[in-house]
Amino acid sequence: MSILARARSRPTQPFQIPQRLFSSCASFSRAWLPKYTQKAGTSPHYPSLRLTVHRSSTWLPPQVRRQVSHRSHIEAMASAPDETYLIVGAGIFGASTALSLIRKYPAANVRIIDREPFPCQLAASWDWNKIIRAEYNDIFYMKLALEAKDHWENDPMYSPFYHVANGVWIQDTNMADVISDNYAELGLPDLVKRYTVEEGKKIYDGLFDQAEYEGIDQVLVSTGTGWAEATKALTKVLQEATEAGLRHVNGNVISLVFNDAGDCIGVRTASEETLTASKTILCTGAATAKLLADSAPYRKELHAGGRFIAAAMCTALMTPEAEACAHFKDVPIVLHERLHYPGRGGFIPPTPDGNFKWWADITFSNLTKHESGEDISSPPTGPYQGQWDVPESFHDEMITGRDVIFGEKAKHFGFDKYRFCWDAISRDDNFFIGPHPASKNLYLATVGSFHSWKFLPIIGSYIVKMLEGTLEDEYTQRWAWDREIEREGAHGYWPKRDWKDLIKV
């Protein structure tokens, strides 16, 4: 019988903790448990289950007893690692990692650092809303997205922020066929339907009959998509992790810190504070390449090289008049994805307060010459990384994106806000989740490539497995630092233009 099963069958039986773990458990108890003891007996699965910590036959005071919730693992408590974890970046990779770590190892020392109190507005994860979809031409990510979507739909922690909405894809590639075949292979053929262009013009009462269809053969409609209130969901995850014991640090990390052997032992902030940890996990998104180069300009093996690049795309918000908004309230998510076309982008149906989010899927880099001699792209250094300082030329791109979807029907819709969203993009659209081979105790969990946000509920569990060394080969190889990149990813997000070429000097 497992430890968990024995505990459930005999909820009042003390659980013995080995002598070697006593100190760390007692320390954890003194620091964190008192505020939770009032909640004893509230777990729906283990209403009277408590973990009683004692040394030999000497009982500790009652205040160190802790109810074990249904989300915790007794096995993890008993074998909590003697590790300190420092997570750099509180976006979806960092937040999900923090929650997964603290749930599995409640006694572990887990800290997360970012430039401002959560949620940090500089992160790509901060947003009005994000698409939750499993429509991938790569079945690897389709399966991963379906796993995440199950949490968005059914997990009470995430479902309050999730909204069901159909999805419409207008594409000039064969992705409609590939996506349909992938769903069929997974036994879910009814989640998508393909239409001819003429049929596509008639769906949703002809709402898209004025869309741009040049070069388009098919329109794909999915009933398995939705969208989430991004910032609210991210905040909830960080709050849950904090209540479970996560510690927050506000600070701007400017460099990694290494010992004489070149192993990573922590980070240094702009205020000259040094934070040390036995494991440092970079969840730093668009800042990753520059941070690695800044930390050791002449250790080229540490640098990103051509593996990934910081890039941005433009997003915008419009708030139509109430009457117009009501007309569009039941529209689906739309993605008009003609590769290398000026109007490439899409929009998400209105939020409860009537805001439509639009985006242009045409990225750009911000290359500067680094001390290392490399050209490295990174977000601007001005206030809020200049994300709200969007030139007129980008306004025009958003208008083009609006018109290729709705034609004359939305000409009277103007945009109220514009924002640049920065992320790190890999050439093959895959993430980087794994140890850095050039520095012991340094790990990466980043490079979302503009499609990672939906994985907020689950990606942390994979990152924890990576840290433990138990991540399955399929994922390890896919996300490895030294993987071979054979071709550019299907999304086509790798930037083909640079900021300096887009602004007037």
Q: 443 falls in which pLDDT band (50, 70, 90)?
A: very high
Report the length, in residues, of the chain.
505
Q: Is the pLDDT of residue 164 over 50?
A: yes
Q: Which two tokens stand for residue 33?
A: 């448990």
Residue 276 lies in a domain: no
State the number of CA atoms in the 13 A half-sphere of 372 facing the CB: 21
Q: Are residues 59 and 161 in the same domain?
A: no
Residue 289: count other Cβ atoms within 10 Å of its Cβ: 23
Half-sphere exposure of 207 (CA within 13 A, CB side): 15
Domain boundary among 80, 96, 128: 80
Domain assignment present for 303? no
Q: Which residue has the higher pLDDT, 352 or 80?
A: 352
Question: Do residue 48 and residue 178 come from a single domain?
Answer: no
pLDDT at 362: 87
490's tokens: 């299907």
Q: Which two tokens stand for residue 68?
A: 């074990």
Per-residue confidence band for 465, with pLDDT thresholds at 50, 70 and 90: very high
168 and 33 in a common domain: no
Please check whether residues 30 and 164 belong to one and the same domain: no
Same domain, 178 and 53: no
Examine the pLDDT at 49 and tell me if it is beyond 70. no
Q: Are residues 401 and 315 part of one domain? A: yes
Q: Could you tell me if residue 247 is inside a domain?
A: no
24 and 164: one domain? Answer: no
Considering the domain architecture, whether residues 50 and 160 belong to the same structural domain is answered as no
Residues in contact with 326: Cβ distance below 8 Å, sequence separation at least 6, in sequence order? none
What CATH number corresponds to the domain at position 342?
Answer: 3.30.9.10
CA distance 348 to 333: 5
Q: Mark whether 331 and 220 lie in a shared domain.
A: yes
Chain segment 380-401, per-residue pLDDT in tens? 887 666 777 888 888 888 888 8
Whether 256 is covered by a domain: the verdict is no
Residue where one domain finishes, among candidates 426, 444, 470:
426
In a 13 Å sphere around the CA of 132, the CA atoms on its Cβ side amount to: 28
Q: What is the dihedral of CA 133, 135, 137, 140, to 10 degrees?
A: 50
- Say what the pTM is: 0.82
Least confident among 1-10, 262-271, 486-495: 1-10
Q: Which of 101, 72, 70 is nearest to 247 (CA)?
A: 101
Give the H or E element holding residue 289.
helix 288-295
* Number of structural domains found in the chain: 2
Burial pattern 362-388, b for ≥16 Cβ within 10 A else e, equals: bbbbbbbebebebebbbbbeeeebbbe
Q: What is the pLDDT of residues 238-295, one digit of tens each?
A: 999 999 999 999 999 999 999 999 999 999 999 999 999 999 999 999 999 999 999 9
The CA distance from 81 to 469, in Å, is 13
Same domain for 53 and 197, yes or no, is: no
pLDDT at 42 over 60: no
C-alpha 247/C-alpha 453 separation (Å) is: 23
Same domain, 225 and 341: yes
Residue 9 has what pLDDT? 40
Could you tell me the residue range of the domain that residue 29 belongs to?
Answer: 3-80
212 and 205 Cβ atoms separated by less than 8 Å: no
Of the candidates 410, 426, 442, which is a domain's last residue?
Answer: 426
Q: Are 244 and 73 in contact (CB under 8 A)?
A: no
In a domain? residue 404: yes
Residues 314 and 408 in one domain: yes
Pick from 88, 120, 95, 127: nearest CA to 384: 120
**Lowest mean pLDDT, pick from 30-34, 96-100, 264-268:** 30-34
Q: Give me the pLDDT at residue 56, please.
A: 30
Whether residue 337 is contained in a domain is answered as yes
Cα 126 to Cα 355: distance, rounded to the nearest angstrom: 16
In a domain, 170, yes or no: yes
* 225 falls within a domain: yes
